[in-house]
Amino acid sequence: MRFAVVRFPGTWSDRDCRHALVDVLGQRADIVWHRETSLAGFDAVVLPGGFSYGDYLRCGAIARFSPVMEAVGRAAAAGMPVIGICNGFQVLCESGLLPGALMRNRGLRFRCEWTHLRVEGGGSPWTAGIAPGEVLRIPISHGEGSYQAGPDTLDALERAGRVLFRYCDERGQPAPAANPNGSARNVAGVRNEAGNVVGLMPHPERAAEHIVGGVDGNRIWQSVIEAAAEVAA
């Protein structure tokens, strides 16, 4: 499977994503500069974390107008798997490809720590290999990751099973104390209606090897790789 790992000016997790995909999981992954206008030849898109355009104006607000985002929009509409991690999640929300917005953390602190995520629903290739209710241990690293949307939007997302990841404690309970940033309803990640576009604040690429403390992030990459193999078969 060949992944496009998009690099905006200020992206910082692109090489971590490529390392996890290529060196750990044996896939193909190429860095794609934000001025590219085509994603031909790729099977999936990764919008990595970082501080695109210095986070000026709002996180992700400028990156969404990069030339590559038109191609990402077309790929998303055509059903290609797209994942936005951290700043990539912010870019997807600013683009309107995912609902809601990421705001300043409750407490105003940049939080860089391990979190537990309960995988909530299905309907996405990015979690196809993970049973609902399973708990993943994946780190966060952000200052503006408080997921917010209007109550009607949140209700609609919940009803449709589009809340994909929720911050929880080790036992899978979405306790207030397990919420690192004040996200509404402990939401850590959501998907679009079709399920191919997913955004989450935690960094699966930073939980790819035991030497860094865990490998749960690979479950997400493996899910999409297996889902693509099934489509091809």
Partner 1 sequence: MSRFLASVAVTLKPAVNDPEGLTIASALHSLGFAGVASVRAGKLFEIAIEASSAEEARTMAEAMCERLLANPVMERYACAIAEAERA
Q: Which positions touch partner 1 (CB under 8 A)? A: 57-58, 61, 65, 93-94, 99-101, 103-108, 146, 148-150, 182
Q: By C-beta, is 123 or 182 nearer to partner 1?
A: 182
Catalytic residue (choose from 17, 34, 59, 86): 86
Active site residue 70: no
Looking from the CA of 72 toward its CB, the CA atoms found within 13 Å total: 32
Q: Is 210 a catalytic residue?
A: no
**In the bound complex, what is the minimum distance in angstroms from residue 49's beta carbon to partner 1?**
19
Rounded to a whole number of angstroms, the minimum distance from the CB of residue 60 to partner 1 is 9
Cross-strand pairs, 47: 84
* 44: CB partners within 8 A, 6+ apart: 1, 2, 3, 4, 80, 81, 82, 83, 224, 228
Judged by beta carbon, residue 2 or residue 109, the one nearer partner 1 is 109
What are the start-end ranges of the H helices in 125-164? 151-159
Tokens of 45: 């898109």
Question: Which is closer to partner 1, CB of 54 or CB of 213?
Answer: 54
**Cβ 101 to partner 1, closest distance in Å?**
4
To partner 1, the closest distance from the beta carbon of 29 in angstroms equals: 31
d(CA 62, CA 69): 11
Is 205 assigned a catalytic role? Answer: yes
Rounded distance between C-alpha atoms, residue 172 and residue 14, angstroms: 30
Residues marked as catalytic: 86, 203, 205
